[in-house]
Each structure stands twice: as C-alpha cells, then as structure tokens.
C-alpha cells in the first residue's frame, strides 16, 4: 500500500532531535525555527519530557474515560493556575480541530442557537464544524458547506455588530493571532469590543489559542495581552510537545451534562503526562519570559531589514512579510543555511520556534539571513 499523498514534502528526513537541533538520516544538521508548525514548545527530546513519558509508558499507557484518571485532574489544576483561568473546566481531546469542534458544540448546546460568526482568512482546522469556520473554500468539501457560519473582516466591529444583530448566533470564534493567514493580530479594542457585543447579543466568545497559546507570544494566551476574557478557549499544538492532545477551557457559567461530549483517546495517560511535563518545563525554565525576550530580539533584528516589507506578530509567533524580490528566501534558508522555518503562502516566512530557543541560536539565524540577503 502507498500513502494517500496530500502533502507537499521536502526531501529531508529528520531522524533525531535535541532542543532546536535536528539531524537528518544522512547526518546533516538543521536548526528548527518552525517546531513542526508551532508544536515543539519545549525543544525536541527534552530530558525531563523523555523521562516522564518513559516512566508513564512503563506504568500504564492508556485507559479510556470510563475510570478515574488522576493525571487529568492534575493537568486541569496545573493548567488552570498557570493560564489564569483557574475557575474554568477542562475538556481533553486529541487535536486542534477537535478542540474547536467541541467548543462550537458546547456554545451551541449552551445557547440553543445554531449560528457562528468567524473571520476572513481564519483557520480553525479540518473537521466539519472547524473547517466550515475556516475561510478557505479549497479545503471545504460540499458536505461541509453550511449557512450557519458567517464571515466578517477582522478588526471590523461594525460588521460584527450588524451580523450579530440579526440573531441566532451561539458564538464568535477568533484566533488569538491569525496564524495560517500570515500572522494578523486582532487589536485590543476589537477584542474588547467583541466581548461587549457577545454579552449584548447573548453569544459566547471562543478564543482559538491553538497556535498563539501556551506561552508563545510572551503571555500564556495571546488575548491576555489585551485584558479580555473569553468564555471558551481552545488549545493544542504546544500543549504536549508533539504528543497528540487538544484542550477546551470552559467557563463556569456553562454546565456539563453527562454524554454531552466524549472521546476514546482524549485525556489518556500518556497525553496527560506529556502535557504535565511541558508545564513543568515551561515553569522551571521561565519559557514564557524567554519567548518575550527572544521575540523582542527578533523584532529589533528584522523590523528594518532590507528583505522585510512588514514585521508582524508577538513573542515567538512571527510573520516576516517579504519584499517581492526576496520571495523564495525560505528555501534558501533551508537548503543553503539549514534553518527550518514556516510559511504563509510564498510571501510570508513564519517563525514558530521552540520557547527554549537560546539567544545564540536566534543570533545565528539573523546572521544566516543577513548573509543571503546582502
Ligand atoms: C489557529 C488554529 N486552529 C486550529 C488548528 C487545527 O489544529 P490541528 O491541526 O491540530 O487539528 C490550527 C492548525 O494549524 C490552527 O493554527
């Protein structure tokens, strides 16, 4: 059997990793400023992460949600304390799309309403509800088409007001910072305005922090830069450093009902152990502060760079929009200088490195960039 080929792949096969370094099967060394799409939050193969997962695997790898699991309770307690939503409840699942799918369902169950307001260029995942709230017709099958999702431009509060006034909305869903779109931030005024409008029209505010959360922007969640509180927050990616997991934080105003949500694999022993190990490392190594510090360094290094048309983002969620003559730089960074980076179309390079990235590694990237853009 061959693979169902839906991905465009680089002809590189990493076989070993350590922090921000990768080795391919030929022994070539690369520096990873992409983290497998913002997933590697505490570095590849961090010793504490490896130890905790290995120990857990030797004790119990999996049991389903039919029995008590103290690891889930420990994770909820730790996460609540660290992220500042202590009084919220945690539902665990397996991916970002699944987290959003469950968030949309919870909002609809709670309000009894069917519609959702989303934003142009948004990306929320590929399952039915999440992809319907994703503004990209190319990845929506006819089966996913629904009149229940309405898109308006980001940062256009008047458009939001006009739509919500029509009634029937269970939720507004918004990314903390739009990632796949190319790193576009909602303004603080806009987010606070959304909060007010959601309250006015009796719908819930869902913050998709799947890419922008988990400390990446220099706060635990990106929306916390603006002092706004959401009713539901979704997370995944950096949460367990590559072990599949997703989480939904749910306001205490929303009451659970047995059977309302469910999953076979979600919240299993290995996933919770991986997520707890990530929180240990984030706290012990002050990684949120490091994300802010190295982000500031990159901003200073790139904001007036000759190849960069616009520097966008916060902390270690960075979009470098290239001037036209520099489109293609990403491949040169990879093949000539051995740096993995992300992209949004051909014109934007995205930096989504591990929160452990050192000053030295950041400087080596800037040096390599400057050398090929002279
Ligand atoms: C903001 C956002 N939401 C949701 C998702 C979907 O996550 P997953 O691929 O884990 O389903 C992504 C993935 O890139 C994302 O960036």
Same domain, 258 and 302: no
Query: Could you identify the atom of ligand 1 that is nearest to the CA of residue 237?
Result: 10
Confirm or reject: Cβ of 180 under 6 Å from ligand 1. Answer: yes
Ligand 1 closest atom vs CA 209: 1
Whole-number pLDDT of residue 374: 87
Residues 57-106 pLDDT 10s: 999 999 999 999 999 999 999 999 999 999 999 999 999 999 999 999 99
Which residues, including other chains, have CB under 8 Å from residue 200's CB and lie 6 or more apart? 164
Confidence band of 346 (pLDDT split at 50, 70, 90) = confident
Distance CA 352, CA 149 (A): 29
Distance 168 CA to ligand 1 centre (A): 26
**C-alpha to C-alpha distance for 348 and 114, rounded to whole angstroms:** 35
Mean pLDDT, the chain, as a whole number?
A: 98
- Cβ(233) to ligand 1 under 6 A? no
- Take atom 3 of ligand 1 and give the residue whose Cα is closest: 124
Q: Is the sign of the CA dihedral 183, 186, 188, 194 positive or negative?
A: negative
- Measured CA angle at 77 (ends 73, 80), to 5 deg: 135
Q: Number of structural domains, the chain?
A: 2
The answer to the question of residue 7 being in a domain is no
Nearest one of 1, 38, 30 to 13, comparing CA atoms: 30
- The CATH number of whichever domain residue 191 belongs to comes to 3.40.640.10
Is 1 inside any structural domain?
no
Asked if residue 252 is part of any domain, the answer here is yes
Residue 367's pLDDT band (boundaries 50, 70, 90)?
A: very high
In a domain, 3, yes or no: no
Whether residue 118 lies inside any domain: the answer is yes
Q: Which residue among 154, 174, 211 is best mutated to probe the pocket of ligand 1, counting the most ligand atoms within 8 A of its Cβ? A: 211
Verify that 167 and 252 share a domain, yes or no: yes
Q: Which two tokens stand for residue 161?
A: 């007001």
Residue where one domain finishes, among candidates 284, 311, 327: 284
Distance 211 CA to ligand 1 centre (A): 7
Cα distance between residue 105 and residue 267, in whole Å: 19
176, 118: one domain: yes
pLDDT of residue 345: 86
Residue 194 lies inside a defined structural domain of this protein: yes
Dist CA 321 CA 69 (whole Å): 45
Q: What is the mean pLDDT of residues 202-225?
A: 98
- Ligand 1, atom 4: closest residue by C-alpha: 124
Top mutation candidate among 237, 239, 241, 352 for ligand 1, by most atoms within 8 Å of CB: 237
pLDDT above 90 for 30 = yes
209 lines ligand 1 (CB under 6 A): no
C-alpha distances out from residue 138 to 3, 115, 133, 210, 270, Å: 21, 22, 13, 21, 35
Residue 232 φ/ψ, nearest 5 degrees:
-140, 135
**Neighbour-count burial for 157-190, b at 16+ CB within 10 Å, e otherwise:** bebbbebbeeebbbbbbbbbbbbbbbbbbbeeeb
Domain that holds residue 318: 14-46+286-372
Residue 30 belongs to a domain with what CATH number?
3.90.1150.10
205 and 117 belong to one structural domain: yes
For residues 224 and 346, membership in a common domain is answered with no
188 lies in the same domain as 260: yes
Q: What is the mean pLDDT of residues 154-162?
A: 98
Whether residue 293 is contained in a domain is answered as: yes
Whole-number pLDDT of residue 270: 98
Give the ligand 1 atom nearest the CA of 37: 14
Tell me the best of 124, 209, 247 to mutate to test the pocket of ligand 1, counting ligand atoms within 8 Å of each CB and taking the most: 124
Q: Is 124 in the pocket of ligand 1 (CB under 6 A)?
A: yes
Residues 112 and 222 in one domain: yes
The residue whose CA is least distant from atom 10 of ligand 1 is 96
Residue 2, domain member (yes or no)? no
Residue-wise pLDDT tens digits, 102-141: 999 999 999 999 999 999 999 999 999 999 999 999 999 9
Distance 1 CA to ligand 1 centre (A): 28
Question: 218 and 345 share a domain?
Answer: no
At which of 229, 263, 284 does a domain end? Answer: 284
* Alpha-carbon gap, residue 101 to 92, rounded angstroms: 12
Above pLDDT 70, what percent of the chain? 100
**155/236 same-domain check:** yes
Distance CA 44, CA 17 (A): 5
pLDDT over 90, % of the chain: 99
152 has a pLDDT exceeding 90 = yes
Which of 210, 235, 350 to mutate to test ligand 1, by most ligand atoms within 8 A of the CB atom? 210
Q: What is the largest CA-CA distance in the chain?
A: 62
Question: Quick one: pLDDT at residue 224?
Answer: 98
The predicted model scores a pTM of 0.98
Q: Closest ligand 1 atom, CA of 176?
A: 1
Q: Are residues 231 and 259 in the same domain?
A: yes
Domain stop point among 284, 313, 333: 284
Q: Are residues 306 and 227 in the same domain?
A: no
Do residues 250 and 292 share a domain? Answer: no
Q: Which ligand 1 atom is the nearest neighbour of the CA of 175?
A: 1
């Amino acid at each position: 059997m061959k693979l169902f080929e839906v991905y465009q792949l680089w002809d590189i096969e990493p076989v070993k990793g350590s922090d921000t370094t990768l080795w391919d099967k030929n022994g070539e060394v690369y520096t990873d400023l992409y983290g497998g799409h913002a997933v590697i939050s505490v570095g590849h193969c961090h010793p504490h992460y490896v130890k905790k997962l290995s120990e857990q695997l030797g004790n119990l790898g999996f049991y389903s949600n039919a029995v008590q699991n103290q690891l889930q309770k420990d994770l909820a307690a730790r996460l609540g304390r660290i992220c500042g939503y202590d009084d919220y409840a945690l539902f665990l699942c397996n991916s970002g799309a699944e987290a959003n799918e469950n968030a949309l369902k919870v909002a609809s169950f709670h309000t009894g309403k069917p519609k959702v307001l989303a934003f142009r260029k948004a990306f929320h995942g590929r399952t039915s509800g999440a992809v319907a709230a994703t503004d990209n017709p190319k990845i929506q099958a006819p089966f996913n088409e629904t009149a229940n999702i309405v898109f308006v431009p980001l940062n256009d509060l008047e458009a939001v007001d006009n739509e919500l006034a029509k009634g029937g909305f269970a939720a507004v869903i918004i990314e903390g910072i739009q990632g796949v779109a190319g790193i576009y931030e909602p303004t603080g005024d806009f987010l606070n305005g959304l909060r007010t409008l959601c309250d006015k029209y009796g719908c819930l505010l869902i913050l998709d922090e799947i890419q922008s959360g988990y400390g990446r922007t220099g706060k635990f969640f990106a929306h916390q830069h603006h002092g706004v509180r959401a009713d539901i927050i979704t997370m995944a990616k950096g949460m367990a450093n590559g072990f599949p997991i997703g989480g939904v934080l749910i306001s205490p105003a929303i009451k659970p009902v047995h059977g309302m949500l469910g999953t076979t694999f979600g919240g299993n022993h290995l996933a919770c152990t991986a997520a707890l190990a990530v929180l240990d490392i984030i706290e012990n190594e002050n990684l949120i502060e490091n994300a802010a510090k190295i982000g500031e360094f990159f901003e200073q290094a790139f904001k007036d760079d000759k190849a960069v048309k616009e520097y966008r983002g916060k902390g270690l969620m960075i979009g470098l929009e290239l001037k036209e003559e520099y489109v293609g730089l990403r491949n040169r960074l990879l093949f000539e200088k051995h740096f993995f980076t992300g992209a949004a179309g051909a014109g934007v390079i995205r930096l989504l490195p591990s929160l452990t990235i050192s000053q030295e590694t950041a400087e080596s990237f800037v040096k390599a960039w400057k050398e090929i853009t002279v």
